Structure 1
Amino acid sequence: MSTFRSHVWSSVGKKMITGLTGLLLVGFVAVHLLGNLTLFIPDRGHAFNAYAYFLEHAVHGWLILAFEAGLLAVFGFHIVAAVTVAWTDKRRARPVGYALVRNAGGKSRKGLPSTSMIVTGLTLAVFVVLHVKMFKFADHPSVVYDGKEMKDLYAVVVAAFKQPLIAGAYVAVMGMLGFHLRHGFWSAFQSLGWNNDRAMGPLQNLARVVSVLFAAGFLALPLYILFFVDPSVSGGHR
């Protein structure tokens, strides 16, 4: 057990944890974005509210509890491992290369996305806390669709994004998400030892596509609501 523990908490082990949990979080963000895209459906929030209701009540609420517990663990391991690796690398004269790849001494790929990973990551962590507080622990209005009462989270989103300051802050944070994914996505594969000279180019290009698509998808939401949604027609039959 001590050998396993020492390997997990070694520099390579923590980088692998960061990479694996990072890819899991990319999957979560993808699913979350797909759910948020229902906000574009012109049905007064029916699809979005129904989606949120399903998540909250599936398997009598146990599914969302299990998912949230797992997600919290993934977030926790990702943050602790990433911050520890960054702190360790900063204290050393030269960052420790990845033991499982061949380009440890190769061409440097440092840039704004890579050098700002801790800043963007911690900013995103603060955003997640505020986001969860807003949608899970605050009081919400209710709405009734087909005789079923549910939280009117669509009205909450519209009310928030109709405030330019909140919409602007959300846009800024989603821009940081794009920067974080730009470096984090391909480096996750590198951390797991799946990266090599032949795969480097395609992974870099895939990281660009993923970061742009995710950032653009999330950026479009507040801008669409701020400029094109009439708050007077949000919600259903109360």
Structure 2
Amino acid sequence: MKAIRFAAAMLAATCIAGAAHAATITQQYKAFSHTVGAQATPEHSVYFAGGHNPAGSSGPKNNHFLFENAMPGNGVFTQFDDGTATLTGNVKNAGGDEYALSLFMEATGTPASLKLPPVPAGQSIDTSAWTFYSISTSIDSTLTYLGAGSLASFKLTEMDMTKAVQVGVGANDKNWDLLGLSTWINFTDLACTGNCQPSYGGDINITLAAVPLPASLPLVLLGLGGLGYAARRRQTA
């Protein structure tokens, strides 16, 4: 059953990616919430920082949203051969408030500063092996509320221009020896018009587990991507 649910999540992520890309997938990963220190339970995937939370959200730690709370194996991080990447899936807090996450990224150089986790004595992190992305400015990244209430949906942008989305072993800000992803983000209410300021600040911290790609999948995704790209061209023509 878990395999079926994850396959459905992968298909949904593939459709989202295909609608925004005319490129071939090079690698795909399951995304999981990071943990803190020796803590066994997941901490968060998407976090509204400083004790803040989306106005109206509920439950304990209502500013902590986890892929695991929505559906195990739901989060998917995908890298493409044109230097872009996506992070998709549903996140939910303990109170049951659920959002759909769609993060679109483009390759960038090594930023001026990094988010580094604590490293045990005698150990080290090879940041030269990390990959870096900027959050796309041509495709909106969003956190879209899925409930029946009145919680806001948000556009996601980079909080700190000296940093970037970092991906690699030790890159998730907490777990020095695990493959992960981390970035700081601003949340801006999608209902805002005019001169909109971020409603909240926060971050994304996840660990990653590589998923073997079926040999035929890149060809299928290339076709889907071409159709999505053609549709976008028609809409903007």
Give the TM-score normalised by the residue count of structure 1: 0.23
Structure with greater helix share of residues: 1
Give the TM-score normalised by the residue count of structure 2: 0.23
Structure whose CA Rg is larger: 1
**Which of the pair has the greater relative contact order for Cα pairs under 8 Å at 6+ separation?**
1
Structure with greater strand share of residues: 2
